[in-house]
Amino acid sequence: MVSRSPRRTCIGCRRVADPSALVRVIRRDDGTLVAGRSLPGRGAWLCAGSPGCVELAQRRGAFARALRGPVDPASVEGLAEAVSARAKMTGRPGLPAGRE
């Protein structure tokens, strides 16, 4: 029997990847979004280092749908900045050109 690692889907671009290539996001009770792999509660996944996936998820209404509640628009902007900063720190650009 072959053991496989879990796979997750980005709510922005719908790419399936290992959790190590994605960022987990949760919604707090006040509607703000927080990135963190070990935080409790329902989570959604985004491509690490890809602010384009954050934009796609916001445009499609994927945050509210995946996290089952209203989301504060200001926290989405903050999340996009955090994902962009992570890309600069790690050198991981996120999606290949043409996938954003």
Q: Is residue 65 part of a domain?
A: yes
Domain of residue 72 covers 8-90
Place of tokens 């996944």: 45
What is the domain-level CATH number for residue 55? 3.30.1230.10
Query: Rounded to whole angstroms, how far apart are CA atoms 79 and 9?
Result: 18
Place of tokens 């792999």: 37
Q: Is residue 1 part of a domain?
A: no
Q: At 75, give phi and psi (nearest 5°).
A: -70, -25
Give me the number of domains the chain comprises: 1
Q: Is residue 42 part of a domain?
A: yes
pLDDT of residue 47: 94
Q: Is residue 2 part of a domain?
A: no
Q: Is residue 95 part of a domain?
A: no
pLDDT of residue 90: 61
pLDDT of residue 74: 93
Beta carbons within 8 Å of 52's beta carbon, 6+ residues apart: 12, 13, 94, 95, 99, 100
Chunked into runs of 10 residues, the chain (100 residues) has average pLDDT values of 84 96 95 93 94 95 97 92 73 44
Tokens at residue 60, please?
Answer: 């499609």
Q: Is residue 14 part of a domain?
A: yes
